[in-house]
Structure 1
Amino acid sequence: MRPTPALRLQATRILRGGHGPDPKNGVYMGWWGSLGSPTQKNIVTYTVSPNRLNPTHHIVSDAIFNTFRRTRNQILYWVPPLMIAYLVMDWAIERNEYLNSKPGRAEFGE
């Protein structure tokens, strides 16, 4: 199978250094890596969405409001046991101090 004259011309130009117009488009096609070809059409470019550029943008304000909301919803579950524990501990400390004082030893001592 014999190549067409255009392909033969292009092959000889490539062997000689690739200079001269392209037989198909009539423009210079440089050597490998610097083709200098016509600009591409229908190029698709992708960008990052603005809300993805800075993922920590609202982190402080969101943390404050989210903590407030979650605490408000859970406050009745952890405040009563905390108050009971505080009152029991306060009573135990006062009772221990009284029992180890002079009047407590006189009342309950031997």
Structure 2
Amino acid sequence: MGGGGEKKPGQYMGSWGALGSPPQRGIITYGLAQNRQRALAGAAHSAVFNTYRRTKGQILYWAVPLLVGYELMNWATENNEYLNSKQGRLEHADDEEE
């Protein structure tokens, strides 16, 4: 049943891959170049030094506003705590009546 020779439509050719089956067509195999096999090679090293380099170039753009914002928030928190304390309420009691 699974011998060689030309097969007719509907004729049993044997199991898949048996001798006598029609040649396989359209099968594509892919390979990977050796220099592409380590996709994350050096990623940690590059991440550290690239982060340092980029931060060094941008630090004045975000550190100054960050410090100004921190000091402003610190002042606002301390002022709020003072105004809600007993001394702050006594000092600003006349402001509330108006």
Instruction: Give the fraction of aligned pairs with identical amino acids, expressed as a percent.
Output: 47
Aligned residues: 69
Give matches, 1:1-110, under 5 Å: 48=33, 50-110=34-94
Q: 1 CA distance for matches of 2:73 and 2:60? A: 20
Greater relative CO (CA pairs within 8 A, separation 6+): 2
Compared with structure 1, are the counterparts of its residues 58 and 107 closer, same or farther at alpha carbon in structure 2 (3 Å cutoff)? same
Larger Rg: 1
TM-score norm. by structure 2 comes to 0.61
The runs of at least 4 aligned residues of structure 1 exceeding 3 Å deviation read none
Q: 2 CA distance for matches of 1:69 and 1:80? A: 18
Compared with structure 1, are the counterparts of its residues 54 and 106 closer, same or farther at alpha carbon in structure 2 (3 Å cutoff)? same
Q: 1 CA distance for matches of 2:39 and 2:86? A: 65
Secondary structure of the structure 1 residue equivalent to 2:88: helix
Secondary structure of the structure 1 residue equivalent to 2:40: coil
* Superposed CA RMSD: 2.4
Tell me how far 1:51 sits from its aligned partner: 2.7
Deviations 1:32-51 (A, max 9, x none): 8xxxxxxxxxxxxx872x43
Secondary structure of the structure 1 residue equivalent to 2:68: helix
